[in-house]
Amino acid sequence: MRQARRAVAITLAGTALWTLALLAERLWSAEALARAAERLGTVHEVAGRLHVAEQQLQQAAQTASLTGDRVWIDRYDRLVDQVGQTVEHAALLAPLAVAERYRSKTASAAAEIARMRASALDALKSGALGSARALFDGERYGRHSRMLAEANEELTRASLAATRAELARLEQRSWLMSGGAVLMALLAGAVLWRRLSRGLDHTRGTLREAEVHIQRMASSDLLTGLDNRAGLHDTMHARLARAGAAGETMAVLMVDLDRFKSVNDRHGHMVGDMVLKEVARRLRLCLAPDDLRARYGGDEFVVVVPGRPGSIGPGATAERIVERMAEPIQFGDLSVSIGASVGIAHFPADAHTADELLRKADSALYRAKQGGRNLVHHYDARRDELLAERHKLEQEMREGIANGQFVPFYQPIVGLERRNVSSMEMLCRWRHPERGLLTPDKFIAVAEASGLIAPLTFALLRAACRDIERFPPNWRLSINVAPQQIEDPELVEQLLAIVREAGVPPSQLDIELTETALVNDTARARAVILALKRAGMTVTLDDFGTGYSSLSYLAEMTFDRIKIDRSFVNTIDKPESAKIVDAIIGLSRSLGVDTVAEGVETERQATTLRRMGCRNAQGYLFGRPMPAKDLSDRVALAKNTMAPLARQSANSR
């Protein structure tokens, strides 16, 4: 662009100069033409004057020599001078060469004539008219004066011709100059055009070069020299299109380094950078030169390999990469160990577009990482579907909690002796706007895994606190607390805050914990149980017998109650189950802990349990989990009679 600008400037300056020169020339030549025309006029005039003066001179000479009249003699005298001066004038007007030729040619004749005229004049003046006439009529005077007259005529003719020629030349030059100017203008235009277009071409070329350079920079990773994310996408699109057209398969390998962050943290970013460079080098060694490889993120790399027959499979390539990356990297004395996990997605089996393939390779990588280190995983569509479903469910749950779609149902826990309600277990139900009433098996696991279990529990407890107002005061509320919630240091405080706000005494609350809640951090679990009890609540060990069933928990932690799992109650007519239930009841009695049997459905089961010494029971036999509004009969019954409830098993659910 700078070149083009310079070309324009030069051409403009040249044109300006040229125009100035042309103007000056035009002025000058107009003046020269005017002068030449004027001289032409003068030459004409001088020629005429000379001619007339010569004739007058002849006449005056004749008349003076015939009459001797003084007037004519003086006139002759004056005319001689006048002719001389006019000849001089004509010679001055004539071109130099012509004037010189004239002078040399007429010199002797002119001198002779001048002499003869002088003596004739003398004769005339002295009255010797005869000798003057003889002189004038003499052959010599006649010859010389004719010759002079001819020479004079030639002189004036030559002057005229020269002046005319000069005029013509000037005119011609003027035409030439005009033509030249037009030509020059055309030429300047052409030059300007060429320069400009050449400048533009050059600029375009430079631009293109810069573009290519920028593109190269924009599509490659400066540290490792591999493609970067943008470069990868571009090349992948092209390769997928080609493979698709040729009916070939391809595989996208997402490679993630293990322990890279700790290398960075421990040895600094410079070592981190060197590790990345070494990783790039090792990747190249594992791949064919044509295989696509890119740095996708901080310590994430992507490799695209063809699934063409003859080449080793993508799985084997991935294994090779994992093996290579596991070898320690040596920098002088420093040895750094990293590793790599790889997720693989296949084209076209798993996906058709670059974005989808990358996403699926990433999903497979996630699974590889979850499985441990140095693993290779292929994408699994079913798992992806489950994940998507889970994600959707999570989203719906979030909204459902906020919109009050989760409601507490209540199931009675009764004393086996008198069959009176001692407590209501709060069990969660989801009134899903599309799927209807959902039981916890559809969502509790997701709630626990996604951190939604705490807000869910608190929302339910708030709702239950409103329902408790209708409970007889001797009914307690059992609530389930998930293992994850034990780790929340705020748990006890938050539970207390909710019941206090509702005006429910904490002593009306029974907290059910499963064994899983105890195993991770026994000390923490013990502290929580203590805190709950100190706040006035009771604590029940739920689902006993299904988990670790470590008797040490029972000894270590001071539970108020143990719930015998449904699975033993179901099968209590079998001797093995009966033995286990018997042992649990015996153990509880010796520890001074109350027992509840769960899932009691038949009268037979209830009788067996009562005989074994189990104090409480819960199950369809005594009532299914039900919404608060369906409790009214129970409430009335309890308030009026506190009568046994054996035959009152509710059927609502």
Site residues, ligand C2E (CB under 6 A):
411, 427-428, 439-441, 444, 453, 457, 460, 480, 482, 542-543, 566, 599-601, 618-620, 625
Residue 221: name its binding partner from Ca ion, ligand C2E, none (Cβ under 5 to 8 Å by kind).
Answer: none
Task: Give backbone dihedrals phi and psi of 407, rounded to 5 degrees, phi first.
Answer: -130, 150
Shortest reach from residue 544's CB to Ca ion, in Å? 8
Shortest reach from residue 341's CB to ligand C2E, in Å? 33
Structure tokens at 428: 């969660």
Of residues 82, 457, 480, 618, which one binds Ca ion by CB under 5 A? 480
- The neighbouring-strand residues paired with 345 are 252
Q: Based on CB atoms, which residue is closest to ligand C2E, 296 or 410?
A: 410
Task: Give which of 109, 173, 174, 121 is closest to 147, Cα–Cα.
Answer: 109
Q: How far apart are CA 56 and CA 123, in angstroms?
A: 20
Instruction: State the alpha helices, DSSP H only, in 297-414.
Output: 314-326, 354-371, 381-402
Task: Give backbone dihedrals phi and psi of 323, rounded to 5 degrees, phi first.
Answer: -60, -50
CB-based burial of residue 317 (10 Å sphere; 0-12 exposed, 13-18 middle, 19+ buried)?
buried
Q: Which of residues 530-569 bind Ca ion (CB under 5 A)?
A: 542-543
Residue 18: name its binding partner from ligand C2E, Ca ion, none (Cβ under 5 to 8 Å by kind).
Answer: none
Q: Based on CB atoms, which residue is closest to ligand C2E, 139 or 441?
A: 441
Residue 155: name its binding partner from ligand C2E, Ca ion, none (Cβ under 5 to 8 Å by kind).
Answer: none
Residue 623: name its binding partner from ligand C2E, Ca ion, none (Cβ under 5 to 8 Å by kind).
Answer: none
Shortest reach from residue 455's CB to ligand C2E, in Å? 11
Shortest reach from residue 505's CB to ligand C2E, in Å? 21
Q: Based on CB atoms, which residue is closest to Ca ion, 278 or 542?
A: 542
Residue 512 engages Ca ion in binding (rule: CB under 5 A): yes
Shortest reach from residue 398's CB to Ca ion, in Å? 24
Shortest reach from residue 315's CB to Ca ion, in Å? 44
- The neighbouring-strand residues paired with 426 are 410, 479
Task: Give which of 60, 81, 80 is closest to 71, Cα–Cα.
Answer: 60
Residue 264: name its binding partner from ligand C2E, Ca ion, none (Cβ under 5 to 8 Å by kind).
Answer: none
Residue 336: name its binding partner from ligand C2E, Ca ion, none (Cβ under 5 to 8 Å by kind).
Answer: none
Q: How far apart are CA 595 and CA 568, in angstroms?
A: 14
Q: Based on CB atoms, which residue is closest to ligand C2E, 411 or 588?
A: 411
Full DSSP string of 415-444: ETTT--EEEEEEEEEEEETTTEEE-GGGTH
Task: Give which of 308, 172, 288, 291 is closest to 247, Cα–Cα.
Answer: 308
Instruction: State the alpha helices, DSSP H only, in 220-288.
Output: 229-246, 260-267, 269-286
CB-based burial of residue 183 (10 Å sphere; 0-12 exposed, 13-18 middle, 19+ buried)?
exposed
Q: Based on CB atoms, which residue is closest to Ca ion, 166 or 512?
A: 512
Q: Based on CB atoms, which residue is closest to Ca ion, 65 or 480?
A: 480
- Omega before 489 within 30 of 0, i.e. cis: no
Shortest reach from residue 216's CB to ligand C2E, in Å? 57
Residue 412: name its binding partner from Ca ion, ligand C2E, none (Cβ under 5 to 8 Å by kind).
Answer: none
- The neighbouring-strand residues paired with 411 are 425
Instruction: State the alpha helices, DSSP H only, in 403-550.
Output: 444-450, 453-468, 483-486, 491-502, 516-519, 522-534
Task: Give which of 155, 134, 142, 126 is closest to 49, Cα–Cα.
Answer: 155
Shortest reach from residue 511's CB to ligand C2E, in Å? 11
Q: Based on CB atoms, which residue is closest to Ca ion, 515 or 598?
A: 598
Q: Based on CB atoms, which residue is closest to ligand C2E, 351 or 401?
A: 401
Residue 427: name its binding partner from Ca ion, ligand C2E, none (Cβ under 5 to 8 Å by kind).
Answer: ligand C2E
R_g of the chain computed on alpha carbons: 64
Q: Based on CB atoms, which residue is closest to Ca ion, 257 or 596?
A: 596
Q: Which of residues 578-607 bind Ca ion (CB under 5 A)?
A: 598
Residue 94: name its binding partner from Ca ion, ligand C2E, none (Cβ under 5 to 8 Å by kind).
Answer: none
Residue 482: name its binding partner from Ca ion, ligand C2E, none (Cβ under 5 to 8 Å by kind).
Answer: ligand C2E
Full DSSP string of 557-568: S--SEEEEPHHH
Please give the sequence-ordered ranges of beta strands (E in DSSP) within 27-93, or none if there are none: none
Shortest reach from residue 292's CB to ligand C2E, in Å? 48
Q: Based on CB atoms, which residue is closest to ligand C2E, 65 or 480?
A: 480
Structure tokens at 603: 């009268």
Q: Based on CB atoms, which residue is closest to Ca ion, 46 or 447?
A: 447
Shortest reach from residue 442's CB to ligand C2E, in Å? 9
Q: How far apart are CA 136 and CA 110, in angstroms?
A: 15
Residues at the contact surface with Ca ion, assessed by CB under 5 A: 480, 512, 542-543, 598
